[in-house]
Amino acid sequence: MIAEAVKQELINIVGPRNYLDKPEDLRLYEYDGGVDKAQPDMVVFPHTTEEVVALAKLTHQHRIPIVGRGAGTGLSGGAIPRAGGLVIGFARMNRILEIDLANERAVLQPGVVNLDITLAVQADQYFYAPDPSSQRACTIGGNVAENAGGPHTLAYGVTTNHVLGLECVLADGTVFTTGGKEQDLPGYDLTGLITGNEGTLALITKVIVRLMRQPEVVKTALAIYDSVDDCADTVAEITARRITPVAIEMLDGVMLRMVEEATHAGYPLDAAAVLLIELEGLREAVDEQLAQIQEVCAHCKAREFRMARSAEERDLLWKGRKNAFGAVGRVSPHYYVQDGVVPRTKIAPTLREIAKIGAKYGLTISNIFHAGDGNLHPIILFNARIEGELEKAQRAGEEILAYCIQAGGSITGEHGVGMEKINLMPQLFNDATLDQMAAFKRLFDPECRLNPGKVLPAGKGCLEIRQPALTPASRLF
């Protein structure tokens, strides 16, 4: 608990209209898009780096845990205050500080919404490439913390490939910068280290990103299949032929029917699976690649290959893809999203294994994912009001991720480890590697007050602040 006198000092830093401490308000900050929850003792909303520094210094003085929070759209418990303490919400640090089109750069506060970056520059024929499905809500600070991806990162790369510099605040209030607008600064790549740190090393208060010119032409196609295996094999074949679209998204039959009923995007209700494929670039190159992809799809037994005939049709297809989680909510009272990665050649057998795991637990599992880079998103449907259903969904999720590791993949492609997957980390990394990660944590945050209980498994993470056990009563539902 935070003492009342300390709460008043925190209020003095941010102002009387920039904090929350009533139980009914704090409930809104005890969860993210995952299935666990833990309530903070207080939430504050700074407007400047100076206020963040003052908050950090005060919490350092009183050894209060702090958790940075963007829009709360994360899916692995990254923004959950597992040890209570103070949540620093960056929603009001939402200004675009500078747009430098001559050098293709933008300087942003962490609360800027992802899509707003593109909207600010699209009239000048520029855009910001990383595009998570939550891009209408998620913020750049959270994207950096989680190293967010998205459908179009197959060709353009994930967040780390577009972040050039950061301003950061340590747990004791020390401010440091990494990188900058300049290209390839010397020294250690601290920008790369902080990007993807999941809020465990520093609070991000400023971000410098790379902007890109809009392509000459964009073409979007939908390949329709009567077999999930044929659909998955197409992805591996496209890669084998050295074709790199900007996006290859796969939806299985369960998923596409939920999406179509919710959005009427034009997905066929009787298909076993579809691929949403997008190409960008010079017109001649796109036309050549499109012909090659159509040939690959036919070779892999696609029953139909449709082209979006207008920007409106393209937008509708992507609306279906990016509103998929909302579509699931119309069908199932609850769902649990996973984030495993496998080699593209292992997509088909992994999908078969996911189906077996679903049958084993009596759960429906739909699949929608970034097929081009093997980043799977099995969505496990369940009803938390039925005793034991949540636990079954979690066990199914753990088995799926364990299989992804066995297939030569990983437990996360873009959602992060958070608190959800820490017990799977030893299956990916040996003790020496985990010890090095823990050493970095202690270097940046010796008292373990920054987002404690995340990323590193028990025995490798924070020992100074004991983590409460998560019982069924402390779950989200």
Closest CA to 190 of 203, 207, 177: 177
Could you state, in chain order, the average pLDDT of each consecutive group of 10 residues for the chain (477 residues)? 96 98 97 92 98 98 98 95 97 98 98 98 98 95 97 94 98 97 91 97 98 97 97 95 95 95 93 97 96 97 96 93 88 94 96 98 96 95 95 96 97 94 95 95 96 88 46 42
Phi-psi bin for 386: left (phi > 0), alpha (psi -120 to 50), beta?
A: beta
Q: CA-to-CA distance for 120 and 99, rounded, in angstroms?
A: 9
Q: Are 11 and 19 in contact (CB under 8 A)?
A: yes
- What order of strands is seen across the sheet that includes strand 365-370? 304-307, 217-225, 273-281, 247-252, 365-370, 378-382, 334-337
In which residue are the tokens 């000459």 written?
216
Q: Could you tell me if 242 and 231 are in contact, meaning their C-beta atoms sit under 8 angstroms apart? A: no
Cα distances from 213 to residues 15, 122, 246, 442, in angstroms, run 41, 9, 14, 40
Taking the C-alpha atoms of residue 251 and residue 257, their distance in angstroms, rounded to an integer, is: 9
Give one DSSP letter per residue of 7-63, joined into a string: HHHHHHHH-TTSEE-SHHHHGGGSB-SSSBB---SEEE---SHHHHHHHHHHHHHHT
Please give the backbone phi and psi of residue 38, each rounded to the nearest 5 degrees, phi first: -160, 135
pLDDT at 315: 93
pLDDT digits (tens, 9 = 90+) for 450-474: 999 999 997 665 644 444 444 433 4
Whether the Cβ atoms of residue 146 and residue 454 lie closer than 8 Å to each other: no
Q: What is the pTM of this model?
A: 0.93
Average pLDDT, the chain: 94
3-state secondary structure of 305: strand
pLDDT value at position 462?
A: 60
Beta bridge partners of 281: 217
Burial of 268 (0-12, 13-18, 19+ CB in 10 A): middle
Residue-wise pLDDT tens digits, 373-390: 999 999 999 999 999 999
For tokens 């003790």, the residue is 431
Residue 361, SS3 per DSSP: helix
pLDDT number for residue 53? 98
CA distance 66 to 450: 5
Q: Is the dihedral of CA 292, 251, 226, 261 positive or negative?
A: negative
Contacts of 81 (CB under 8 A, 6+ apart): 29, 30, 38, 39, 40, 65, 67, 87
